[in-house]
Amino acid sequence: MNGSMPRESQILNRHLLALLALLVLALHSAQVKSQTYFGHVVESTLCKENETIMFACNIKKKKVAVCASPRADNPFGVLQYRFGSSSQSLDLAFPSNDVPAQAIASGGSRGNMGRGSMQFLRMKNADVTYTVYHDAFSSSYGREDGTEGGGILIERAGKLLANKQCEADQVIYSGMLQDERFFGPAIPIDKTPVATFESFGY
């Protein structure tokens, strides 16, 4: 008996190595297809594979998200607003087709004399406007008493119908709103007042 490995063992090892390679490839493919936030894979939002999370948070037992897909030369050229308990159970999702983001959305950043800042994204669905926002505010310039929050403002014909706030103790995904390719290149900068944030200027 020599020291070489039996043929059956060699074949088995080759099969195991091939299986391992397939598993690694599958895991890599799953990550590439997953929703992303600053390039990192994120689960449990309403965004889908290959979409970028522009905004997402939990509101009581529901979730809200604005998800972006690339169009032409902009990675945020198509947006969709979603609200519901899960991706399989949505109460609202619009637009229903790949409308250019600049046709239905606008947004921007505002400040409050050094004591606060907010970013917002407005999306129109017929005569109703849905504005997702994230804000940080301190009543003093020292910022020891700073607070942070977010939510959805729902308006019709300029009248505020609801202000649904994100759960304060959970993550609010909004950082992608500040990407330099978004406000301006992808959607128009909006300089009209934001309900409940009238003291914030641009």
Q: What is the pLDDT of residues 122-168, one digit of tens each?
A: 999 999 999 999 988 766 655 566 788 999 999 999 899 999 999 98
pLDDT at 15: 43
pLDDT at 26: 39
pLDDT at 77: 94
User: Is omega for the bond preceding 193 within 30 degrees of 0, making it cis?
Assistant: no
Domain residues of the chain, as ranges? Answer: 36-178
pLDDT at 163: 96
| Highest-scoring range by mean pLDDT, 25-29, 129-133, 194-198 | 129-133
List pLDDT tens digits, range 71-123: 988 999 999 999 999 989 999 999 999 899 999 999 999 887 666 788 999 99
Q: Of 88, 96, 169, 84, nearest to 126 (Cα)?
A: 96
Contacts of 145 (CB under 8 A, 6+ apart): 138, 139
In the chain, alpha helices (H): 7-33, 101-104
